[in-house]
Amino acid sequence: MDRGSLEALQLKRLRDTVQKLERVPFYHAKFEKSGLKPEDIKSTADIRRLPFTTAADLRENYPDGLLAVSRDEVVRLHTSSGTTGKPKALFFSRRDVDTAAELLARAFCMTGVTRRDVFQNMMSYGLFTGGLMMHYGAEKVGCMVIPSGPGTSERQLMLMQDFGTTVVHVTPSYAFYFADFLEKKGIDPRRQLALRKAFVGAEPYTEETRRKIEAALGVDVYNSYGLTEMNGPGVAFECEGKCGLHVWEDNFVMEIINPATGEPVGDGQTGELVLTSINREAMPLLRYRTRDLSSIIPEPCACGRTHRRLHRITGRSDDMLIVRGVNVFPQQIERVLMSIPQIGRNYLILLEGLDDMTVKVELSPSAFDGQVERLEELQNQVAEKLRAELWVRPKVDLVASGSLPVTEGKAKRVIDKRSL
Ligand code: ADP
Ligand code: ZN
């Protein structure tokens, strides 16, 4: 679809959504307060007249205060974990489930996946959208889907070998863990497995990490982005160019704002991603504050798709750590670590005492030759590189490969035990 038609469709869907949300007391009250009528939305730029929706709004309206249809029309419930208190509950109508699958099918095709592929979904099934939604998307393409879930690496490997898995869906942390597992078993994925592609998402990771996963597993890694509030995975996905994530703009209106002021940032600048779902029945959300940091790539993509792209998410606006007065993003630390060849794949950021930062990081399996002086030298080198990037010097603790904990779902990289 050309940009003009795409934007016209966006506007139509946005207006329909606003109209529909007049029936939801939460939004109705907000429209009343600002005197807004659905007819006032004359262009997509008028989206700025609409209220924001936050994670707190979802929690306060738990379980079904933001539902826009009757309960009878709901066929699916998903929740987003969060770390404390009540989860965020998201409802899907039959058409919503089908649309979500459709968007993922598009994403799969965009990376060259066809019905001849065997898709092993290593994400957990259940309330988390990453399992079920990807499953539906892959079935829609016609892949043979192996719903392995996160199970043990032995079992994953057996399924891959016996059924010729070509595509996997994993978190970056599990991809590394599995690569280490293969290395220990002496299995060369390039020669002994049929793997070709990995869809990697659910948590932020750097370009360096992508390259490391690609090298370790012998696959093409495509970045997959989504959040439960907007269907789950399939909001934005990379095409074969692997140069930013196309956002399905016929389903989502994206904005990038300054998280402190709520005002839009300039073209191409980094800020908080705000998404409005304009093709949802059961629970559309207006201007949802994702807290994810990114920027829009305004230039058209070489692949020819007209849906604009986002740069990879660099973290969440609430991820920022303040260490000794300096703003530090965990992604900066990851970028440095992953660029050092002797460094392995798992790391942990520990904040303790008054304001002490320790970066615990695994050595690559082959890096340690038993000479303690070399280890100290490397430790200093890593600390120095981190200081140059962060402007504060953390303590670096090199540990044996495979000794840091691996979680089944999303990795927990920061442990903050400061007594500030
Ligand atoms: P939770 O909020 O409990 O983690 P979700 O499963 O809804 O539950 O997670 C969505 C969030 O996961 C996103 O808002 C984003 O922070 C993160 N995320 C998902 N995919 C990616 C990705 N490809 N890159 C960076 N972060 C991602
Ligand atoms: Zn493209």
* Residue in the structure block whose two tokens are 């539902």: 67
**Cα torsion through 297, 326, 335, 154, rounded to 10:** -110
Q: Which of 292, 310, 334 to mutate to test the pocket of ligand 1 (most atoms within 8 A of CB)?
A: 292
Q: Where in the chain is the domain with CATH 3.30.300.30?
A: 326-416
Residue 17 has pLDDT above 70, yes or no: yes
Rounded CA-CA distance 257/292 in Å is: 11
Please, which pLDDT band fits residue 83 given cuts at 50, 70 and 90? Answer: low
Measured from the Cα of 313, ligand 1's closest atom is 25
DSSP-assigned beta bridge partners for residue 336 = none
Mean pLDDT of the chain: 94
Question: pLDDT value at position 87?
Answer: 86
Look at residue 82 and tell me whether its pLDDT is greater than 70: no
Q: How far is the CA of 79 from the centre of ligand 2 (A)?
A: 30
Q: How far is the CA of 300 from the centre of ligand 2 (A)?
A: 8
Ligand that lies nearest to the alpha carbon of residue 170, given by its number in the listed order: 1
Tell which CATH classification among 3.40.50.1820, 3.30.300.30, 3.40.50.880, 3.40.1550.10 matches the domain 326-416: 3.30.300.30
For 220, what's the count of Cα atoms within 13 Å in the CB-facing half-sphere?
Answer: 14
Is any atom of ligand 1 closer than 6 Å to the C-beta of 203? yes
CATH class of 89-318: alpha beta
With a 6 A CB cut-off, is 223 part of the ligand 1 pocket?
Answer: yes
Atom of ligand 1 nearest to the CA of 129: 6
Q: Whose CA is nearest to atom 25 of ligand 1?
A: 204
The Å distance, Cα 107 to ligand 2 centre, comes to 11
Distance 252 CA to ligand 2 centre (A): 17
Mean pLDDT of all residues in 365-386: 88
Looking at residue 84, its pLDDT comes to 54
What lies within 8 Å, CB to CB, of 396 at 6+ separation is 358, 359, 361, 379, 380, 382, 383, 386
CA of 280 to the centre of ligand 1 (A): 20
Shortest-distance atom of ligand 1 to CA 223: 23
Is the confidence at residue 419, as pLDDT, over 80? no
Residue 85: per-residue pLDDT:
66
The predicted pLDDT at position 92 comes to 98
Question: Pairing state of beta strands 414-416 and 395-399?
Answer: unpaired
What is the Å distance from ligand 1's center to 43 Cα?
29
Q: Is 124 in the pocket of ligand 1 (CB under 6 A)?
A: no
Q: For residue 151, which phi and psi values (nearest 5 degrees)?
A: -10, -175
Q: Encoding tokens for residue 67?
A: 């539902």
DSSP letters for 243-291: SSEEE-TTTEEEEEE-TTT-PBPPTT--EEEEEEE-S-SS---SSEEEE
Instruction: State what percent of residues in the chain have pLDDT above 70.
Output: 99
State the span(s) of the chain assigned CATH 3.40.50.12780. 89-318
